[in-house]
């Protein structure tokens, strides 16, 4: 296992190899170690890699740096989550550019049934503070996982309110787990871990919170959840980046409206106006939009033989939906190996036969 981890970390250190290329390599060669053992000719021919990246892999000499990271992981009991691990956040894995390796300290389930990301400005107003506290507080009965960026302002309010209401919460960091930024959130970070939440980052130890790391961090916040809620923000900033990323990942985005004269609401108003976010005024709107108000159907035993008449692709989808309560269309496509258009056609056919029901957020379940 240590040898596997060594090459997994090493893959994140190779120059010119980002998350998209790393995913291609792992999917093609099977695991990180096999990537480094591959011949240059095999690497050259792989679409999206080419001669320069192949050379970077073949001439990589950074294993000692990876060994140092393993020592840090072992010392502080950090969980490394590789792209192919079952514990890796599956919602995030279905994005086109998921982090190759995540470093996690905590106990919250990153694949919880209901996950929301709450983001907003560092320079919150009383209006924004009240909205965030009310939203998270009212969602406590929904048994959700609250994700945010552990930044000043709205992020911190979301984390603190989750803790107050005994909800697990995860802070996604733009630096390594050997430090805390901002420093004044050190105590909050400890409380998050102590109360069943977690701290998550794709950056190895010694990585500083440099400016360019924050947009990279924001894609995790956007991709790990069912929905991103923008509480309060101006037209520029990290929250707008997160919202646009979530929209690009085909995730649900919601925003609280504000006065047209309020600078801290210009971002939210713009997202709503441009149809990138749905307008909400509270937790009830969010729960209804995500289908959380619906009571789960009574337990039922579905006999496989009832669907013997279905084509193979439709049978495959029915089988997967028997295993899980609901699944996102992207997850169905990834798990079955069918293309998006084939999955969409199969789902439409199953809906017309009253076998499958579509839910908000491009999720599906059996009738």
120 and 227 both lie in a single domain: yes
Confirm whether 47 is domain-assigned: yes
Report if residue 84 sits inside a domain.
no
Any idea of the CA torsion for 316, 319, 325, 329, to the nearest 10 degrees?
0
Answer yes or no: do 143 and 250 share one domain.
yes
Structural domain range at position 57: 2-75
Residues in the chain, total: 367
Q: What is the CATH number of the domain that holds 155?
A: 3.40.50.450
Same domain, 131 and 268: yes
Global pTM? 0.80
Which sign does the torsion angle of CA 65, 70, 76, 79 carry?
Answer: positive
Q: Are residues 244 and 150 in the same domain?
A: yes
Task: Identify which of 154, 136, 329 has the alpha carbon closest to the alpha carbon of residue 249.
Answer: 329
Q: Give the end of a domain, one of 53, 75, 97.
A: 75
126 plus 168 within the same structural domain: yes
The verdict on 157 and 217 lying in the same domain is yes
The answer to whether residue 91 is domain-embedded is: no
- Asked, for residue 64, whether it belongs to a domain, the answer is yes
Token pair of 33 as six digits: 């170690």
Four-residue CA torsion sign, 274, 277, 282, 284? positive
**277 and 132 both lie in a single domain:** yes
Structure tokens at 3: 């040898």
User: Based on the domain organization, do 270 and 317 belong to the same domain?
Assistant: no
162: its two tokens? 């989750």
Could you give the number of structural domains in the chain?
A: 3
- The C-alpha atoms of residue 220 and residue 199 are separated, in whole angstroms, by 12
* Tokens representing residue 303 in the block: 């006999």
**One domain, residues 133 and 40:** no
Answer yes or no: is 222 within a domain: yes
Query: Is 176 within a domain?
Result: yes
From first to last of the 367 residues of the chain, give the pLDDT tens digit.
568 999 999 999 999 999 999 999 999 999 999 999 999 999 999 988 999 999 999 999 999 999 999 999 999 999 999 999 999 999 999 999 999 999 999 999 999 999 999 999 999 999 999 999 999 999 998 889 999 999 999 999 999 999 999 999 999 999 999 999 999 999 999 999 999 999 999 999 999 999 999 999 999 999 999 999 999 999 998 999 999 999 999 999 999 999 999 999 999 999 999 999 999 999 999 999 998 875 444 444 444 445 657 888 888 888 888 877 788 888 888 888 888 888 888 888 888 888 888 887 788 888 8
Instruction: Give the whole-angstrom CA distance, residue 254 versus residue 277.
Output: 5
From first CA to last CA, the distance across the chain in angstroms is 42
CATH number, domain of 341, equals 1.10.10.10
Let me know if residue 162 belongs to a domain: yes
Question: Residues 257, 325: one domain?
Answer: no
Strand stretches in the chain, DSSP E: 79-82, 101-106, 115-119, 145-148, 169-172, 198-201, 227-230, 252-255, 278-279, 327-328, 356-359, 363-366
DSSP string, 95-138: SSS--SEEEEEE-S-TT-S-EEEEE--SS--HHHHHHHHHHHHH
């Amino acid at each position: 296992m240590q040898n596997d981890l060594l090459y997994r970390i090493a893959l994140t250190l190779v120059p010119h190899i980002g998350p998209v290329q790393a995913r291609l390599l792992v999917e093609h060669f099977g695991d990180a170690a096999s990537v480094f053992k591959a011949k240059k000719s095999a690497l050259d021919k792989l679409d999206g890699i080419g001669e320069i990246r192949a050379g970077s892999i073949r001439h990589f000499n950074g294993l000692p740096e990876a060994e140092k990271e393993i020592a840090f992981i072992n010392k502080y009991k950090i969980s490394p989550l590789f792209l192919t691990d079952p514990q890796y956040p599956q919602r995030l894995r279905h994005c086109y550019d998921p982090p190759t390796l995540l470093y996690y300290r905590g106990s919250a389930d990153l694949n919880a049934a209901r996950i929301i990301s709450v983001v907003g400005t560092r320079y919150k107003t009383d209006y924004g503070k009240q909205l965030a506290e009310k939203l998270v507080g009212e969602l406590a009965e929904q048994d959700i996982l609250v994700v945010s960026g552990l930044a000043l302002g709205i992020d911190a309010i979301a984390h603190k309110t989750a803790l107050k209401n005994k909800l697990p919460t995860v802070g996604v960091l733009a630096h390594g787990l050997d430090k805390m930024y901002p420093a004044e959130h050190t105590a909050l970070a400890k409380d998050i871990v102590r109360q069943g939440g977690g701290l998550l980052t794709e950056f190895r130890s010694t990585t500083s919170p440099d400016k360019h790391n924050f947009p990279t961090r924001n894609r995790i916040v956007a991709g790990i959840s069912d929905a991103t809620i923008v509480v309060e923000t101006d037209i520029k900033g990290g929250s707008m980046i997160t919202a646009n990323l979530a929209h690009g990942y085909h995730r649900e985005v919601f925003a609280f409206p504000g006065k047209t004269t309020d600078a801290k609401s210009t971002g939210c108003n713009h997202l709503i106006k441009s149809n990138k976010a749905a307008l909400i005024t509270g937790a009830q709107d969010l729960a209804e939009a995500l289908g959380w108000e619906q009571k789960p159907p009574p337990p039922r035993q579905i006999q496989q033989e009832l669907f013997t008449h279905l084509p193979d692709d439709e049978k495959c989808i029915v089988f997967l939906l028997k295993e899980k309560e609901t699944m996102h269309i992207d997850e169905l496509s990834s798990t079955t190996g069918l293309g998006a258009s084939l999955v969409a056609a199969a789902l439409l056919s199953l809906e017309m036969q009253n076998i499958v029901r579509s839910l908000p957020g491009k999720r599906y379940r059996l009738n």
